[in-house]
Chains A and B, each alone.
Chain A
């Protein structure tokens, strides 16, 4: 059974700092790994999808990497801004049938 964990659970940083969010999964036989952002009370916004044949994806100030052999993915946010404050969730695509989500990392970027 796939299990996904994320550390840290919460993170508070000053504006401008670079930061790394971590995601671990137990079953390396995943199809894809996807990172999402969720603002309070809202739905999930897709940030990056890393397909199983890829090692990383980049979009603007965001870079996500995937290491299937070690069961890890990281989301790197460069030059953080107050608007980046949200909960960040990673999800492992379990054999193309469903995504298994981690509990999320709650990020606060202080002005």
Chain B
């Protein structure tokens, strides 16, 4: 069974740039969620994708966008990067039925983004 994998593990960008983070979900899972974790805090929900459509969104601006592909992998895109976007970005996969999560979340190791 393949776990959740994320890339890249670390990256440095400058303010105003754009970034794309990638995630491969665990085998058998159909739902991908993205979370932002600032240093010393719990993860904050960004959005969730189910059947290639956004299925729930947290309190994040539209410059945070995503995609889910037919193989259930996903991308997180952030435009016009700000200093406060510096964080650990975590991808989680799960199994959903009718768009509602039915079980455990499994996380990848995260992508550490630093915005200078």
Q: Report A's interface with B, CB cutoff 8 A.
A: 4, 31-32, 34, 36, 41-46, 49, 89, 91, 93, 95-104
Instruction: Give the complex CA separation of A32 and B103 in angstroms.
Output: 8
Instruction: Give the complex CA separation of A93 and B56 in angstroms.
Output: 13
Among A36, A44, A97, A100, the residue within 8 A (CB) of B100 is A97
Instruction: Give the complex CA separation of A41 and B49 in angstroms.
Output: 25
Q: Looking at chain B's contact residues, is the secondary structure mostly helix, strand, loop, or mixed?
A: strand
B96 located at the interface, meaning its Cβ lies under 8 Å from any Cβ of chain A in the complex: yes
Q: Looking at chain A's contact residues, is the secondary structure mostly helix, strand, loop, or mixed?
A: strand
Q: B43 to A97, Cβ gap below 8 A? A: no
Instruction: Give the complex CA separation of A4 and B103 in angstroms.
Output: 19
Q: A96 to B101, Cβ gap below 8 A? A: yes
Chain A residue at smallest Cβ distance from B42: A101
Q: A104 to B101, Cβ gap below 8 A? A: no
Query: Can you show 27 pairs from A to B with CB atoms below 8 A apart?
Result: A32-B101, A32-B104, A34-B105, A36-B107, A42-B109, A43-B4, A43-B90, A43-B109, A44-B43, A44-B105, A44-B107, A45-B107, A46-B105, A46-B107, A89-B43, A91-B42, A91-B43, A96-B99, A96-B101, A97-B48, A97-B55, A97-B56, A97-B99, A97-B100, A97-B101, A98-B33, A98-B56
